[in-house]
Amino acid sequence: MKKITALFLAAALAACALCGCKGTTPANSASSDETTASSGEAAKTEIVVGIPQDLDSLDPYQVGAAGTREVMFNVYEGLVKLNPDGDYVDAVASSHSVSEDGLTYTFTLRDGVKFHNGNEVTADDVLYSFETCAANTVNESVKAAISVAEVSVSGKDIIIKLPEVNSDFLAYVSNVYITPAGYTDHATAPMGTGPFKFSSYKVQDSFVVVRNDDYYGTLPALTKVTFKIFASQNDRLNALQAGSIDLATHLTSDHVAVIPDTYTIMDGTMNQAVALYLNNARAPFDNEKVRQALWYAIDIDNVMNMAAGGGVKIGSSMFPAFGKYFDASLADKYSYDPAKAKELLKEAGYENGFTFKITYATEYEHPYGDMAAVIKEDLAKVGITAELDPIEWSSWLTDVYRGREFETTLVGFDTSVLTASGMLQRWTSEAGKNMINFKNAEYDETFAKALAAAYDDELQTSLFKRCLEILNETAANVYIEDLPEYVAINPAFTGYEFYPLYILDMSTVRPAQ
């Protein structure tokens, strides 16, 4: 879980002096003329949140980017949803139970839950949502879990029968967002049951939500949230320095060093598997020895320290928030060894090296551009030429993620559900999300056995950990770290909570007292 601490960085003052930051007046909100509670006047109930990328879809079942999902958490809900402790708690359902054989889930629909148009949620809406999700979701792991389920209704109860035990099923249910039956305008006017409802959206500019005064749960203290979209991290940093936004997440230590001390800084981890992802279908990365050589040639510790300011070293597609599945020992399987890298390159037929591109999104120049620069220097020492290829995030999604038109790319992957299968399914041979074109018969077989072992937690855990070992042994990618994450918040607000996944929950944020 993310650990929340207050950071008091003396370096921030010195850095601000260097870049001309005053750091003597409170950060101002661009969304409200109200003053802060600490001044003895009216508390601020509107907030501006700076986000580093545009939304890839407003349709709940077409959201692919983690940055979009964390924003839409405020608008859409499932029968259950994740809380900051990593537990799946009742949401649109008031309660749920599981049969002794683990095959039948019963959810009781909560009374008085309303959509943002004021209509009360019915069992028909739930059935429609499950059918729509099973047919249309871009989340393959959710689709696989939901499409085999038999969903029926008995009064207020939603009864779901599974053909086999799936210990992760509750997590997948959380991703079946409940929407009005027959509603088809989500792409332009999303309609959910969450604590905030859609107000407006301007491409590459802003996504605005307002408080849902009909919300069945605790009403948010905030009346309006403006998610301000920034084309680059530098633009977002400038906005922080100017005090024109109130909250920014996913910041690095370099960012923190130049943020005025008029912000409160909180720290945790990103909960992502950051790596140099390799297109296993492209030469020379179709050669396992070349992939292993890259890992030996890159000083991972130096990349972490120079480009990210720390973090948690990983050795496969898993991060520490997953607890029992995370294997810290994999992080040290490939020690920095340029001589070993040269030896492997020679064995692979690349004694004289080769040239390739490292693609990354310009919106994430920090840390990915910084990482790429450090990696480039390391690879040059073994005769490999890496060319930096920054592109816009929208192009990255289209060309790299969906089109698989890349050689290598720096990015971090999380999952929409807190399950090992959610992280590992994407690397099975036929998975649509398998952008690196990784194909390994043992991996596929082991993953399938892990899914089938839902009745035996110890066996399932060992099988998932074997999947992680295969990714490591074959050097499917050069795994780097779970990045450190810093959050800057205007002290006029409090209550921000970290989650073990990408979630930006604005319902807990409130004016400081």
Q: What is the DSSP string of 15-44?
A: HHHHHT----SPPPPTT--PPPGGGTSPPP
User: Quick one: pLDDT band at residue 243, thresholds 50, 70, 90?
Assistant: very high
Is residue 122 located within the same domain as residue 198?
Answer: no
Percent of the chain with pLDDT over 90: 76
State the Cα–Cα distance between residues 303 and 478, nearest whole angstrom: 12
- The structure tokens listed for 273 are 């598997």
Flag whether 403 is in a domain: yes
State the Cα–Cα distance between residues 77 and 366, nearest whole angstrom: 32
User: Quick one: pLDDT band at residue 365, thresholds 50, 70, 90?
Assistant: confident
Q: Tens digits of per-residue pLDDT, 27-51?
A: 333 333 333 333 344 678 999 999 9
Percent of the chain with pLDDT over 70: 92
Asked whether the predicted pLDDT for residue 2 surpasses 80, the reply is no
* Position with higher pLDDT, 291 vs 500: 291
At 42 the pLDDT is: 61
Asked whether the predicted pLDDT for residue 193 surpasses 90, the reply is yes
At 36 the pLDDT is: 35
Flag whether 181 is in a domain: no
User: Quick one: pLDDT band at residue 224, thresholds 50, 70, 90?
Assistant: very high
Asked whether the predicted pLDDT for residue 269 surpasses 70, the reply is yes
* Position with higher pLDDT, 375 vs 24: 375
Is residue 263 located within the same domain as residue 295?
Answer: no
State the Cα–Cα distance between residues 52 and 60, nearest whole angstrom: 20
State the Cα–Cα distance between residues 167 and 178, nearest whole angstrom: 22
Using CA atoms, how far residue 276 sits from 313, 385, 448, in Å, is 13, 15, 26
Q: State the average pLDDT for the chain.
A: 89
At 240 the pLDDT is: 93
Residues 6+ apart with CB under 8 A from 315: 327, 328, 329, 330, 331, 332, 333, 334, 468, 472, 479
Is residue 381 located within the same domain as residue 312?
Answer: yes
Is residue 220 located within the same domain as residue 138?
Answer: no
Asked whether the predicted pLDDT for residue 10 surpasses 60, the reply is no
User: What mean pLDDT comes out for the span 65-89?
Assistant: 94
Secondary structure (H, E, C), 140-167: HHHHHHHHCCEEEEECCEEEEECCCCCC
State the Cα–Cα distance between residues 430 and 425, nearest whole angstrom: 10
Out of 122, 143, 173, pick the residue that ends a domain. Answer: 173
Is residue 114 located within the same domain as residue 139?
Answer: yes
pTM for the model stands at 0.74
User: What mean pLDDT comes out for the span 358-371?
Assistant: 92
Give me the domain span that covers residue 211. Answer: 10-26+46-58+194-270+485-511
Q: Tens digits of per-residue pLDDT, 449-493?
A: 998 887 788 999 999 999 999 999 999 999 999 988 899 999 999
At 46 the pLDDT is: 97
User: What mean pLDDT comes out for the span 412-440?
Assistant: 91
User: Quick one: pLDDT band at residue 408, thresholds 50, 70, 90?
Assistant: very high
Is residue 355 located within the same domain as residue 405?
Answer: yes
Listing from the earlier edge strand, what are the strands of the sheet with 206-211? 196-202, 206-211, 224-229, 46-51, 247-251, 484-489, 264-269
Is residue 351 located within the same domain as residue 499?
Answer: no
- Count up the domains in the chain and report the number: 3
Is residue 385 located within the same domain as residue 497?
Answer: no
Q: Are strands 312-313 and 477-482 parallel, antiparallel or unpaired?
A: antiparallel
User: What mean pLDDT comes out for the span 8-13?
Assistant: 31
At 64 the pLDDT is: 87
Cis omega (within 30 of 0) for bond into 26:
no
Is residue 286 located within the same domain as residue 251?
Answer: no
Residue 426's domain is classified under what CATH number? Answer: 3.10.105.10
Is residue 330 located within the same domain as residue 444?
Answer: yes
User: What mean pLDDT comes out for the span 444-453?
Assistant: 93
Is residue 411 located within the same domain as residue 444?
Answer: yes
Angle, nearest 10°, between helix axes 288-297 and 338-347? 160
User: Quick one: pLDDT band at residue 502, thresholds 50, 70, 90?
Assistant: confident
Residue 127's domain is classified under what CATH number? Answer: 3.90.76.10
Q: Which range among 65-69, 103-107, 157-161, 468-472 shows the weakest confidence by mean pLDDT?
A: 65-69
Flag whether 41 is in a domain: no
Is residue 165 located within the same domain as residue 242?
Answer: no
Asked whether the predicted pLDDT for residue 513 surpasses 90, the reply is no
